[in-house]
Chains A and B, each alone.
Chain A
Amino acid sequence: MPRPNPAQPSPLSAMPNAPAWPEEVFRALKEAGIRQVCYVPDAGHRTLIELAHGDPEIETTVLTTEEEGIALAAGAWLGGQRAVLLIQSSGVGNCVNMLSLIATCRFPLLALVTMRGEWAEFNPWQVPMGRATPKAFEIMGVQVQRIDDGAQAAPTVAAAAAMAFEGDQAIAVLLSQRMLGRKTWVEK
């Protein structure tokens, strides 16, 4: 059975089989007091990005590269707001240097990372950074949690947000490629 092309924009209502977890995760982020969402565009984060743009209480910032979001999240915390960073595994390496800022100043950090290069991946260029993603975070002191099941997404994000913003920790939550679904490339 063909899956919808995640790269093809279409209203959520036109996707009766759309998974529930993005909206549940968005609710969890709201309940955690997130006021800023920054992202590098990604098909796996598409619904979350749309929900953030549609919410007048949330400042949404599109980044040119992932490390900008690390610095932005630090600035938001300095000013009293909680931010979340939405990125893809392909860009995690870009964050490594800027994670010094988080470690040195003990800033909270919450990143949601869609995984590529680990399940039914047809593009070999995605594999090295996908494979290195947990280690790239861990070498800089970021704790990695992983979601393989959509039902666990919102509770995991809620727990990660509590630990980040109430416990002063840096947490990356990886959303597995198997859960996100195989990327299709045939335009329908």
Chain B
Amino acid sequence: MRGASSRALDRRAAVRELLAERGAALVVTGLGSPTYDVFAAGDHDANMYLWGAMGGAAMIGLGLALAQPRRPVVVITGDGEQLMGLGALATIAVKKPGNLTIVTLDNGQYGETGHQASHTGLGVDLHRIAESAGFAAVELRDLAGIADYRRELARLEGLPRFATIRIAAETPARALPARDGVHLKNRFRAHLGLGVN
């Protein structure tokens, strides 16, 4: 089971691998380290970095996926952020957006606040909760598995997908994208050809 066959991954390497061929993907990041990881993998106008709204990343992803059915939408968040919005897994699973993938970087702790154990660190398996809700859910344990999973990120049909990536608990050097929400929103919308009021 957990941790039996492989060492936990470096989070920056894992996210870089995941987004290596992102194509047309629209990316929403959960606050804290996932935001820094995605920025470190390469800034992009189609990245919406969250610095707050804890528990809301997956639902932002759903609203976006429904509005842009021809674009793959990828939410990259942490275990703590997803745990704060567990109900969203039920909401998304019954709505079945085929172009939405939620990737949870799971280190089993709240890294941003002093490494307190999270519920996943205490035994809760998020991908099994997602699977029972109705997602096509997997756990990714190595970089080769993440590279293979890029095919899934590009899908526009089928069940919504949920992947847990087990990452090591270290905190890499900060890589901080812009924090101004209005700028990030307008930059993202401009990428889609949408205007500013």
Contacts and interface: CB of A to CB of B under 8 A. Distances in A.
Interface of A: 35-36, 59, 61-65, 67-81, 83, 97-98, 100-101, 104-107, 166-168
Contacts of B50: 101
Contacts of A61: 62, 66, 91, 95
Interface stretch (B53-61, B108-116, B154-162): B53-61
A107 B67 contact: no
A110 to B, nearest CB: 13
Given A76-B67, A79-B66, A100-B52, A168 B60 contact: no
Contact of A59 (B66, B184, B197): B66
Contacts of A64: 87-88, 90-91
Contact of A62 (B53, B54, B94): B94
Contact of B56 (A36, A71, A76): A71
B56 to A, nearest CB: 3
Given A73-B63, A77-B189, A78-B185, 16 more contacts: A61-B66, A61-B95, A64-B87, A68-B59, A71-B56, A71-B88, A72-B63, A75-B59, A77-B63, A78-B60, A79-B26, A79-B63, A98-B53, A101-B52, A104-B52, A106-B181
Nearest to B88: A68
* 6 residue pairs, one from A and one from B, having the closest CB atoms: A75-B63, A79-B67, A64-B87, A105-B181, A71-B56, A71-B59
B67 A100 contact: no
B59 A72 contact: yes
Contacts, number: 117
A101 B62 CA distance: 15
B173 to A, nearest CB: 25
B56 A70 contact: yes
Given A72-B59, A167-B197, A65 B87 contact: yes
Contacts of A101: 50, 52-53, 56, 60, 181
Nearest to B189: A78
B67 A75 contact: yes
Given A71-B56, A105-B185, A167-B197, A79 B94 contact: no
A75 to B, nearest CB: 3
B17 to A, nearest CB: 25
A76 to B, nearest CB: 4
B24 interface: no
Contacts of B59: 68-69, 71-72, 75
A77 B67 CA distance: 8
A75 B85 CA distance: 15
B1 interface: no
Contacts of B28: 75
